[in-house]
Amino acid sequence: MLDKKTTTVLKVLGKLGEDSAYKVITVDEILSSLNSRTQYDVDTVKQIIEYLCKQEYIVLKFEEDVTFCYSLLPKARIYLEQNNTNVKPKKQHLPYGWLMLCLVMSGVGSFVANLLFYYFLG
């Protein structure tokens, strides 16, 4: 299981290198594709790419300073497919019946409180 940052970088690599061929990419391209650039810097992205390579999610053909030639391995493709299908279910809202009951009960409670107030003070 990959952490959130690693999964995000893997998703970006998957989008940029959709076909099975090797893709040459720079760290700046990855950073520009990330939504929250504040959590990532060049060193972090390089470490994540090295980790993905060691864990056999990607294979690197060559690596220069901030340029990589990579290809996704089947393990990464399977992980991305499973990660896309495991969409979190929506929160279930209370049925309208419960909402109506709460509204009616609050109205009844207000009415009873007003009756008691006027009965004892009036």
| CATH number (domain holding residue 62) | 1.10.10.10
On whether both 65 and 40 belong to a single domain, the answer is yes
pTM over 0.75: no
The model's pLDDT over 11-58, given as tens digits with 9 standing for 90+, comes to 888 888 777 688 999 988 888 888 765 678 888 889 999 999 999 999
On whether both 106 and 80 belong to a single domain, the answer is no
CA gap 86, 57 in Å, rounded:
19
The model's pLDDT over 48-93, given as tens digits with 9 standing for 90+, comes to 999 999 999 999 998 888 898 999 999 988 898 888 765 555 566 6
The model's pLDDT over 96-107, given as tens digits with 9 standing for 90+, comes to 787 788 889 999
Percent of the chain with pLDDT over 90: 25
Report DSSP letters for 8-27, one per residue.
HHHHHHHHHT-SSS-EEEEH
**Segments forming the whole domain that contains residue 59:** 4-85
Number of domains in the chain: 2
